Amino acid sequence: MSHVIIAAADGSSLSNPGPSGWAWYIDDDRWRCGGWPEGTNNRGELYAVLDLLRSTAHLADESLKILCDSQYVINAVTKWMPGWKRKGWKKADGQPVLNKDLMQALDEALAGRDVSFEWVKGHAGHPMNEAADRLARGAATAYRDHSVFDRGPGFGPMKAAEAAVEQALVAAEADGTSSKAVAASPPTKQARRPSTIAEPAQPMLGVEFDPDIDAVIGFEKELLSDKVRRDPTRVRELLHPQFSEFGSSGRIWTRSRLLAEIAPLPVRVTFESVASKKLSDDVILLRWRAVGAHQSWLRSSLWQRVDGSWRLFFAQGTPVA
C-alpha cells in the first residue's frame, strides 16, 4: 500500500473580488502560500490545489488526499470537469467555464495522479484546515497592506530560482533594505525570512502564468461587458485619472469624455489575447484583438498599478482590414 500525503488547501478574498490569497498545508515543515492584489475566493481555492499538485509532482507515485472546505472546487474537479472538457471547456448552456485557465491547468496536473478530495467544514476547528485558512487570509491581508510575508518552505528541496531569490533577500536584509514586517504568520515556531510580495510567475499550459497579467486581462474583459459599461462608477475605478485613448476612428478619448459617453457596445466584442508583457512591477502592456461579428480590431492597452489597484492608463485601437 502506497503512502498517502494528506494536505489541506484553502483560499481567501477580502472583498471577493479583492486582495486574495491561497495556501496549502501538510505540517509545520511543508506548506506554502501566495496571492494576488485582486482576485476571487474561488480562484484562490483552485490555485491552492494547483500549487499543491505541482509541489508534489515529484511524488506522483504516492496518493494525495486533499482536505477542502470548498464544494465548488471538489465538484468542479471530481464531477464537472470531464463534461466541460468534452464540450470544449464550455458549460451546458454553451457559455465558457469560469476560471477556465485554472481548470485546464488542474486537468493537466491531475493526469496520472492518485488524488482524492474530502470536504471539511470551514472554520470549525479542523487543525489543518484552520492552518491553511490562516495562511491564505494572511497572504490576502499582506497584499491589501502592501507588506511582505513568508511564502513557506514548500515541499522538498528549494528550486534554484527560489534559492536565488532567497539569497537576494538575505543580502537585502544585510543592507537594511527589506521592507515592512511579516504579515502572514507561518505556523512554525521559528521565524522564517520574508519573501517579496510579487507572486512568482507559474508555468501554465506551456506559457508563463503571471497573476497580475491574469488580473489585468480580467479587467480588460470587464470593460467590454454590458454590465460594467452601464456602471460609470466601476468604469471610473478601472480608468487611470490621466487615461487617454486613440480610438480606431481617430477620435481621442479622455477619462471624462469616456465616462460621459460610456454605454454598452453596439455589437458583442470578445477578447483574444495576442501578447502581454510586464514592463515593470507596476506596468503591464496588453496586445489583443477585439473580435466582433463582422469586424475585428487590434488593441494595445497600458495598465498601471496605482495604490495597489490596476488602472488603464492608455489604449489604442486599429481596425483589421
User: Is the pTM of the predicted complex or chain greater than 0.75?
Assistant: no
pLDDT class of 2 with cuts at 50, 70, 90:
low
Mean pLDDT score, 156-183: 42
Which residue, 14, 1, 5, 32, is CA-closest to 188?
A: 32
Asked if the model's pLDDT at residue 3 lies above 90, the reply is no
Q: How buried is residue 107: exposed, middle or buried, by Cβ count under 10 Å (0-12/13-18/19+)? A: middle
Backbone torsion region of residue 303, taken as left when φ is above 0, otherwise alpha when ψ lies between -120 and 50, otherwise beta: beta
Written as nine digits, the cell of 86 is 468534452
Rg (CA), the chain: 21
Active-site residue, from 35, 44, 51, 69: 69
Catalytic residue list contains 10: yes
Q: Are 152 and 162 in contact (CB under 8 A)?
A: no
Active-site residue, from 10, 150, 214, 220: 10
The reported pLDDT for the residue numbered 321 is 63
Which residues partner with 235 through β-bridges? none
Which string of b and e fits 299-310 if b means at least 16 CB within 10 Å? Answer: bbbbbbbeeeeb
The reported pLDDT for the residue numbered 309 is 87
Write the DSSP assignment of 19-69 as a string of letters: EEEEEEEEETTEEEEEEEEEE-HHHHHHHHHHHHHHHTGGGTTSEEEEEES
Active-site residue, from 11, 34, 35, 138: 11
Domains of the chain in sequence order: 4-196 (3.30.420.10), 210-319 (3.10.450.50)
- What lies within 8 Å, CB to CB, of 308 at 6+ separation is 19, 37, 143, 144, 146
Active-site residue, from 94, 123, 176, 250: 123
Active-site residue, from 133, 150, 212, 245: 133
Question: What is the C-alpha separation between 263 and 83, in angstroms, rounded?
Answer: 36
Q: Is 111 in a helix, a strand, or coil?
A: coil
Lowest-pLDDT choice from 10-24, 101-115, 181-195: 181-195
Which residue, 188, 211, 234, is CA-closest to 284?
A: 211
**pLDDT, tens digit, 9 for 90 and up, residues 57-116:** 888 888 999 999 999 999 999 999 999 999 999 988 888 889 888 999 999 899 999 999
Question: What is the C-alpha separation between 293 and 295, in angstroms, rounded?
Answer: 6
**pLDDT, tens digit, 9 for 90 and up, residues 108-132:** 899 999 999 999 998 888 999 999 9
The reported pLDDT for the residue numbered 163 is 43
Catalytic residue list contains 162: no
